[in-house]
Amino acid sequence: MSDSVLQVRHLTKHYGKIKALEQLDLDLPRGSVFGLVGPNGAGKTTALRIIAGVLEPDAGEIMIDGRLLDGDHTYWAAKIGYMPDFFGVYPDLMAWEYLDFFARTYRLPAVQRARRIDELLELVDLTEKKYTFVQALSRGMQQRLCLARALVHDPELLLLDEPASGLDPRARVAFRTLVKRLQQLGKTIFVSSHILLELAEICDQVAILEKGELKAAGTMAEIEPQLTKQHRTLRVRSLDELSSLQAFLVQQDGVLSVRQDGDCLEIDFGGDEAAIATLLQRVVAAGFRLLSFHEISSNLEDLYLQLTKGETQ
């Protein structure tokens, strides 16, 4: 059996002229917690909906356990448990009936169904709420119930779209603990969020998505140099007019933007250390008298925020 539970190749989806996903490639190692992070509109939900089989891609391939996503929806549905970002509940059902309905869709026999419902309610700590109407549960409880629903058929792969959104800090911690517990139970979990640090705590690997394109992917340790390569902040002080230096800088290769900060200029720069050296050479060659020229160190979250401007298309 392959080491990757899920393989995504060249996944592309456009909504008219809007590019939701462009040539997305992903590999989810078996038993891992994999985070998909990006600002709103980056394409996370589109990617998860396609993988869950509820949306058709324009191009690309998805394989689970080496088998292509094709017409056999039943196979996929059995392998995947999907929890959407905005999930609803059926208000006139009790918690156990809600789970029973979904268990029936997977053709679980009555005895197995009843046992599974009890196990899941215990797992998500809702045993006492078994006979409570779903609309009477708190948001956090509904979230956990929805997670139990995604687990009702014991899937191999769990797709969780922004599972912690709308939860208070205590419920977020509880949810993270639950995700870790599911990983210990052998599940592979694909979780999306727009907050990198939220995923950093629970994910083995992370992929960063921006405007439908993959910006970086790997472990947290691997991600940082990738982000740094794509985005740095440089600070420059000069004896000359800052406006003329600013006008000169914006025309240089790798300079994304330049802004004035007191008596300094801050440069958003995309490039490696050699590119920084080249930029410095040009500034000096142009005759500007520099007092200082250095890179400002950024933490991972800053790098992520600078990389993903949160622009949707």
Partner 1 sequence: MNMTDRLNPLLVKDVRSRMRGGRSFLMLSFFLLFAGGISYLVYQSTASISSYDFAIVSSGRIGQSVLAALLVTSHILVLLIVPLLTLNAVSGEVERKTYDMLLATPLSPRQIVDGKIGGALAFAALLLFGVLPLVSIASFFGGFTLADFGNGVLVLLMTVICVALLGLAASALFRRTALAVLVTYGIILSLTLVHMFVVVSGASLLNPNHAPPAWWFIFNPVVAQLNSIGVIHDKAMLLAGGRPVWYGYMLFALALSLLSYIVAWRAVRQRQRWHFGRRDWLVVVVALLILVVAGALFAVSGSGQANATSPAMAKPTPVPMYYAKPMPTALPGHGTGAGTSAAVTPLPLPTLQP
The reply to whether 305 sits near partner 1 by the rule CB under 8 A is no
**Should residue 17 be labelled a site residue for partner 1 when binding is judged by CB under 8 A?**
no
Q: Per CB under 8 A, does 220 bind partner 1?
A: no
175 - beta bridge partners? none
Binding mask 134-163 for partner 1 (x = CB under 8 A): ------------x--x--------------
Q: Are 163 and 52 in contact (CB under 8 A)?
A: no
Nearest approach, Cβ of residue 55 and partner 1 (Å): 5
Q: Does 52 bind partner 1 (CB under 8 A)?
A: yes
- Taking CB under 8 A as the binding criterion, the range among 13-21, 82-90, 222-230, 232-240 that sits at the site for partner 1 is 82-90
Q: Select from 85-93, 166-174, 189-197, 288-296 the region that touches partner 1 (CB under 8 A).
A: 85-93
Encode 227-260 in three state secondary structure.
HHHHCEEEEEEECCCHHHHHHHHCCCCCEEEEEE
- Residues of span 61-80 touching partner 1 by CB under 8 A: 73-74, 77-78, 80
Contact 144, 129 (CB under 8 A): no
DSSP state of 133: B
Phi, psi (deg, nearest 5) at residue 137: -80, 150
- What one-letter code names the amino acid at 276? I
Does position 287 bind partner 1 by CB under 8 A?
no
The residue from 107, 139, 259, 289 that contacts partner 1 (CB under 8 A) is 107
Answer for which of 89, 114, 195, 305 binds partner 1 (CB under 8 A) is 89
DSSP state of 150: H
- 97 near partner 1, rule: CB under 8 A: yes
What span, in angstroms and rounded, lies between the C-alpha atoms of 72 and 194? Answer: 32
Number of residues that bind partner 1 (CB under 8 A): 33
Query: Which has the closest alpha carbon to 113: 128, 94, 96?
Result: 96
Place of tokens 């340790």: 221
Q: Which of 2, 15, 40, 101 binds partner 1 (CB under 8 A)?
A: 101
**CA atoms of 258 and 234, how far apart (whole Å):** 9
User: What is the Cα–Cα distance from 299 to 58, expressed in whole angstroms?
Assistant: 37
Residue 92 lies near partner 1 (rule: CB under 8 A): yes
Closer residue to partner 1 (CB): 79 or 129: 79
- In the complex, what is the shortest distance from the CB of residue 94 to partner 1, in angstroms, rounded to a whole number? 9
Helix (H, G, I), strand (E, B) or coil at 49: helix
State yes or no: residue 114 binds partner 1 (CB under 8 A).
Answer: no
d(CA 153, CA 131): 21
Q: Which residues bind partner 1 (CB under 8 A)?
A: 49, 52-56, 73-74, 77-78, 80, 82-84, 86-93, 97, 101-102, 104-107, 109-110, 146, 149
